[in-house]
Structure 1
Amino acid sequence: MMAKVPDLTDLEKHIIQQTIDERWGKGKVTAEEVEVEIRLSPADRELTACPAMYWEHEDCQFVLAKSGESRYRSQFFYSVKDRFGTGIDEYADLGDCVLYLLRLQADHESERQKNFPTA
């Protein structure tokens, strides 16, 4: 039996929310605690429940999951078919994980606006 993934600490939740606040302004976007099921290893047949933070901004959703002690994964998505990760499977540093996720999404959003300008 696999060990349970530890819950997000108050410090981890604070780091995530603080980084979100730096991106969009304090109080504009709030992350909420959720639980997601992921394969901790590509070879795993079973999914493991992992604590995560979820937030939305405009038409984009974000998920940052804790996949082990000081192990984090993240992605953003616009729909089930339109999902994006950072290209790094797992981070050991939470700050890097959330910062790279937000930077990549900002770059992606900028490209989307260039390619599909709104009326």
Structure 2
Amino acid sequence: MSNNIPDFTKIELQVVATALRERYAEVIDLQLADAEMQIDKGSGEKVECPVVFWRQQGASFVVYKMGDKRFAGRYFYTPREQFRPAEDEYDEVGDCVLALLVVQADHEAQRAGSI
């Protein structure tokens, strides 16, 4: 990639897969792709970042790798219903995935009237 953001390492992907297996008690199919994202708030420039993507329980999840030790996560139901954890960025992929899963589980509970 021209912007020098490295792809997800095997260890990072293993961390994601393990977190999802613990959360859903099944192996989740992970997809790798690239997506454009504004990684520096002060700049309007978008750069291509590696992403890991999965779908589960009606939601789509994306974890962006924005550089070494820089991860961000989002989940969505439709293009107009997009959500993210409270933190904009995480330095560990496991922390990013965990925060994403927690905020989505809380959101699901709210939608179901459990919270």
Fold equivalence (TM over 0.5): yes
Matched position secondary structure for 2:113: helix
Give the Å deviation of 1:25.
1.4
Matched position secondary structure for 2:76: strand
Give the Å deviation of 1:45.
2.7
Q: TM-score, normalised by structure 2?
A: 0.91
Matched letter for residue 12 of structure 2: E
> Take 1:13 and 1:31, find their aligned partners in 2: how far apart are those partners?
9
Residue 12 of structure 1: aligned partner: 12
> Take 1:46 and 1:104, find their aligned partners in 2: how far apart are those partners?
28
Give the Å deviation of 1:94.
1.4
Give the Å deviation of 1:91.
0.4
Residue 64 of structure 2: aligned partner: 65
Give the Å deviation of 1:60.
0.5
1:96 aligned onto 2:61: no
Identify which range, 48-57 or 37-46, moves more after superposition. 37-46
> Take 1:92 and 1:48, find their aligned partners in 2: how far apart are those partners?
19
Q: How many aligned positions are there?
A: 113
| Identical-pair percentage | 31
Q: TM-score, normalised by structure 1?
A: 0.88
Q: What are the within-5 Å matches in structure 2 for residues 80-95 of structure 1?
A: 80-95=79-94
Q: Which structure would you say has the larger Rg?
A: 1
Q: What are the within-5 Å matches in structure 2 for residues 43-58 of structure 1?
A: 43-58=42-57
Write out the 4+ residue segments of structure 1 that deviate beyond 6 Å after TM superposition.
none
1:108 aligned onto 2:104: no
Q: What are the within-5 Å matches in structure 2 for residues 16-55 of structure 1?
A: 16-27=16-27, 29-55=28-54
> Take 2:61 and 2:69, find their aligned partners in 1: how far apart are those partners?
19
5+ residue gaps, structure 1, are none
Give the Å deviation of 1:47.
1.3
